[in-house]
Every structure is written in structure tokens, then in C-alpha cells.
Amino acid sequence: MPQHPITQAIRIQTPRTDEMEHSSPLFLTSSFCFDNAEEMRAAFADETDDNIYSRFSNPGVQEFTDRMCALEGAEAGFATASGMSAVFASFMSFLKKGDHLISCNAIFGSTHTIITKYLPRFGIEYTYVPAGRPQEWEAAIRPNTKMIYLESPTNPGLDIIDLEFAGKLARKHALLLNVDNCFATPVNQRPIDFGADLVVHSATKWIDGQGRVLGGVVVGKKELIHELYLFCRSTGPSMSPFNAWVLSRSLETLDVRMERHSSNALYIAQQLENHPAISWLRYPWLKSHPQHEIARKQMKNGGGIICFDLKGGVESGRRFLNNLNMLSLTANLGDTRSIASHPASTTHAKLTEEERQAVNITPGLIRISVGLEHRDDILSDILQTLDKC
């Protein structure tokens, strides 16, 4: 009887050694040995799957990757050193000089930098399309378009993009659909079920869940991942075996953690929605969210992020952060501990004011990564600082 992906994410393991350990060991090694010259030759000729060098493969990294594939319903995957190395590899493995990329305009700040600053250096063109107006996307397709890239929910404005629509559009025009699924996580949303060819994650966030290690992963169709593997094998953005060991253990609790993150976030969003210091608030599971029905169609729950706009703008944003007692001020998200950030001055500071306005990053926007603390303690800290804004 086939096992549920949640069970697979717990039970998939590297083969036990002669020590008969219950938890998988850590393969903290840079290289691997062979019994004879012929075995070594065959491995380097790709005639076997034997491990050679941890830049290429490592048993612990493969365990983490296999667990991610089970959760996402993917054929194969490759783990990288960070989420941004995963994003970059997902572009450079498939795009070349003269190609054209379509991306939703609401994306993480570092991804925006890659697309606007670095891809053009390689002769790769791009077009941004409004995240909230997918009906405009088809008009942006050119004869040299090769890929559609999107986040859903987007960072930080929580736009929800209809993945079924995006999948059908990509298939209609024979384009690769590349989806950053970091905010939703694979237990809340599986883009491959809606037609995605590649799914990208920053494992640093909810997958780790405790703010300890960096990591990234790309999963998808086997033939595509093989191309990405060849690119990464030569360019070197390999995941640390230690980080893979930590992240693999983290996947065993991802489902239960996301249930708590999401229930806390929904409760707090409901309590804050009509606060007098807030001009608007977004959370996918609220009926007031403009893409609420789409979120309900493709997500298991609303996730662990809420965002809202303070009426007082930048100064109110600073006062909000400076008066927090419990919530952390840090660039990360997806931690057990709740985190507050001001995107306009941090993660998206390199965007122009016009670019920020286009994706609804207002001067007073606050992003809350809702943690696992008791929901009343999180809410209390937010309310006390809102009173000072």
C-alpha cells in the first residue's frame, strides 16, 4: 500500500550501516573511496551511481532530497547551499543568451537582483508581469520565451497566483514553469500537481524551521533535474552534508509545525484585521484577501506569514519594530520564534520606490513571520507596539 507523503518524509532513509542506527548517520566527508580502479573508473564515467565527491552527491544530502521529492510529488531533485543558489541554478541550467524569461513582478529582493542585474549580463531578457493580473501574462510571451517564473504566495505582499492557470499557460506555449514554493511549503501546496516543471525552495526558512542552517533545493521532472545537476556539479553550489542532516531531521516535523504556524497566523490576522493603526492587512485564509478563493483551491492552509500596512508610513514602521518586546528583528523567516521585518528598508530596499509601489510594498508595510509561541503572547506584543504607532 503506497505511503502518504508525510510518512515518506519521515521514513525515507539512507540504508542502515552495520551499526544498525535508527536515525540516519551524518556523512561528513568530502570524498568517497573505491575498492579498486575499475569501480573508480565506472563511477567517473557515470556508469554507476556510486558517490565520488560531496560536491556531486552525498548520502545524507540525497536523503534530504528524496524526502523533499516525496513531499512535492517530484521525480527527482538536487539540493544546494542556499535558496538563492537554487533559484540561480534553476535559471542558468535552462536559459541561454537570447532567451526570454517571464517573471511575476512580486518576488524576493535577491531574486529581483538576479533577474534585473545578472541575467542581462548573460544576454537573457526578462519581462515582469503583474502578480495580481495573470490575464496579462500571455501577451508578454515572445518567440524566444523559455520560462515562466513565479512565487505564490509572493514575498512579502502575499499575492496568490493561480497555479492551475499558470500551468495551462506554460503547456500551451511549451514553456518551463518554475515555481518558488518557499512561503507555502510542500505540506501546504504542491505546484507540480498544477503543472509546474520545477519547484524551488529556500530550505533555510520553514523547512529548517529553527533558524539554524542555510539550504536550497530544486525538484521536478527527472530529465530537467539531470541538467540542473550537471550545472551544479561543475559550478559547485553543493549543500553541506551537515546542513542536509539537520534539514532532513526537520522535515520529520514540518507538517505539524506548519499546522501550528498557520493556526497562529490565522488567529492573529483575524484579531488585527480592523485595528485602527492598520490601513490594510493580508492573509490568504481571510475572506478579505483578493485571491482568497484561489488560495482555498490550491493551498491546505494560509501559511505562517501575515503582512499589513501601517497608516503612519515609514516612521510608524520604525516605531513598530523598535517597540517590540518579544518578536525578533532579523532577515530570516519561518522560525519557531516570531519575526517582524520592514521590507521597504531591508529585503526589498534595493528596489526603486516605483518598483516597490508596483508590488504593493508600501513605506509602512510590516511582514510578520508567525512563530510557534502561544498565540496570545505573539498578539499581545504586536498590539502593545501598535498602540505606539
Domains parsed from the chain with CATH numbers: 5-251 (3.40.640.10), 255-386 (3.90.1150.10)
Q: Which residues pair with 281 in a beta bridge?
A: 308
| 349/299 Cα distance (integer angstroms) | 29
Q: What does each of the 389 residues of the chain score in pLDDT, given as a tens digit?
A: 789 999 999 999 999 999 999 999 999 999 999 999 999 999 999 999 999 999 999 999 999 999 999 999 999 999 999 999 999 999 999 999 999 999 999 999 899 999 999 999 999 999 999 998 888 999 999 999 999 999 999 999 999 999 999 999 999 999 999 999 999 999 999 999 999 999 999 999 999 999 999 999 999 999 999 999 999 999 999 999 999 999 999 999 999 999 999 999 999 999 999 999 999 999 999 999 999 999 999 999 999 999 999 999 889 999 999 999 999 999 899 999 999 999 888 777 777 788 787 777 889 999 999 999 999 999 999 999 999 98
Residue spans of beta strands (DSSP E) within the chain: 76-80, 100-104, 125-129, 145-151, 176-180, 198-202, 216-220, 278-282, 305-310, 328-329, 339-341, 365-369
Q: What is the pLDDT of residues 188-210, one digit of tens each?
A: 999 999 999 999 999 999 999 99
Rounded to two decimals, the pTM is 0.95
Going from the C-alpha of 364 to that of each of 115, 252, 318, 330, the distances in angstroms are 26, 37, 9, 17
